[in-house]
């Protein structure tokens, strides 16, 4: 399916309306909201590493309201069990049968608050559901609703009593970002409306969950030139071969990168991906996937510096003129239409 210019424009208009609606709860954080919505549209999960009190819970609730979905919040603690996340089988005396009671993971938007405070056993309960959109309990598989996204949070300051997320789980998060503190103007507006207890309640529904799933399907039709794919492959190889990196970008990470790049392009009203889309998303997509070696801290090398170094060392493919690219897409659509007419 090839996306038309009209469909791309409608997608961008709907995306902007969702950003504006969620932005009523998260003041002055347009990029963070855009990244979160792009992550959801790309069928990915989001890791927020941020200090307390910046609006992480409000973001999850606001997104759920905007797409008319259900949200749940799980407070991860050392004594949390996998059944507290997934649910379990309970005996029903009325029917004398064992019935499945779904846990909070069976919601559209799930906030896993302070995910690194739970034990590795409980953290592993999320592996299957984040990768495959389903959970196996007592030998039976149960699918989660669509759309579905886990928004997990970590406190970057306090590490006492925490369990670092394993690389396999980090790789299942499409992006990692932070909301951060509001700027001066946004904070003044927030203080002026201090009487509002629940800012997420100010969010208005924009689209139904069913329509959101259809909107998400449009991203598959975004055109990606072979040069862009080659560019991303070179980036992945450069991360794996960097002198300060032990673990680079995986094939699963590359697939996630392309998915969100398509969404990012479509959100700007374009039916094709540009090298700038790849560069714009480099930090949220890569920063949690690259594992630095033991030498890096002694050289004061950060993940962000490594990512910039990788991109600086690879020349992006030359941009074709928009008119030429549009001519190619028009030709493809015409050929497809002609082929359908002949059949």
Domain ranges of the chain: 1-219, 222-343
Cα–Cα distance measured from residue 310 to residue 255, given in angstroms and rounded to the nearest whole number = 19
Q: Which two tokens stand for residue 218?
A: 């449009």
Q: What's the Cα-to-Cα distance from 92 to each of 97, 100, 171, 177, 339, rounded to whole Å?
A: 5, 10, 39, 43, 58
What is the domain class of 222-343 according to CATH?
mainly alpha
What confidence tens digit (pLDDT) does each residue in 36-81 have?
999 999 999 999 988 888 888 899 999 999 999 899 999 999 999 9
Q: Phi/psi of residue 98, each to 5°? A: -95, 120
Structural contact between residues 89 and 137, judged by C-beta atoms closer than 8 angstroms: yes
Q: What is the pLDDT of residues 98-120, one digit of tens each?
A: 888 999 999 999 999 999 999 98
Q: What DSSP character marks residue 117?
A: G
**Which uninterrupted H or E stretch holds 140?**
strand 140-143
Q: What was the pLDDT predicted at 325? A: 57
Sorting pLDDT into bands at 50, 70 and 90, what band is 341?
very low
CATH for the 1-219 domain, from 3.30.160.20, 1.10.287.40, 3.40.50.170, 3.40.50.300? 3.40.50.300
For residues 288 and 303, what is the distance between their CA atoms, to the nearest angstrom? 8
Q: Which residue has the tokens 């020349």?
A: 315
Residue 271 burial class via C-beta count within 10 angstroms: exposed 0-12, middle 13-18, buried 19 and up: buried
Give the Cα separation of 240 and 272 in Å (integer): 28
Q: Is the peptide bond before 147 cis (omega within 30 degrees of 0)?
A: yes
What is the reported pTM? 0.87
């Amino acid at each position: 399916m090839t996306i038309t210019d009209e469909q791309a424009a409608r997608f961008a208009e709907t995306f902007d309306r969702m950003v504006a609606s969620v932005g009523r709860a998260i003041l002055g954080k347009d990029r963070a909201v855009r990244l979160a919505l792009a992550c959801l549209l790309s069928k990915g999960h989001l890791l927020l590493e941020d200090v307390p009190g910046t609006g992480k819970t409000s973001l999850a609730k606001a997104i759920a309201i905007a797409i008319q979905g259900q949200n749940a919040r799980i407070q991860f603690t050392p004594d949390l069990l996998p059944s507290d996340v997934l649910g379990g089988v309970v005996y029903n005396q009325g029917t004398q049968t064992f019935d499945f009671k779904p846990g909070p993971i069976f919601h559209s938007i799930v906030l896993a608050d302070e995910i690194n405070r739970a034990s590795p056993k409980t953290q592993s309960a999320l592996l299957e559901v984040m990768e495959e959109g389903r959970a196996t309990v007592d030998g039976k598989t149960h699918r989660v609703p669509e759309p579905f996204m886990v928004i997990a949070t970590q406190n970057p300051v306090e590490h006492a009593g925490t369990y670092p997320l394993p690389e396999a789980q980090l790789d299942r998060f499409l992006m990692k970002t932070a909301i951060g503190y509001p700027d001066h103007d946004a904070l003044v507006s927030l203080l002026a409306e201090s009487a509002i207890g629940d800012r997420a309640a100010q969010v208005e529904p924009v689209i139904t969950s069913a329509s959101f799933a259809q909107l998400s399907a449009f991203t598959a039709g975004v055109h990606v030139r072979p040069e862009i794919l080659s560019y991303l492959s070179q980036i992945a190889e450069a991360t794996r071969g960097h002198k300060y990196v032990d673990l680079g970008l995986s094939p699963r990470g590359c697939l996630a990168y392309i998915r969100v790049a398509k969404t990012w392009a479509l959100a700007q009203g374009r039916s094709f991906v540009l090298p700038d889309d790849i560069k714009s998303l480099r930090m949220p997509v890569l920063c949690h996937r690259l594992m630095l070696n033991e030498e890096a801290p002694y050289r004061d090398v950060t993940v962000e510096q490594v990512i910039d170094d990788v991109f600086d060392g690879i020349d992006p493919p030359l941009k074709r003129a928009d008119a030429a690219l549009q001519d190619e897409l028009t030709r493809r659509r015409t050929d497809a239409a002609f082929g359908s007419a002949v059949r």
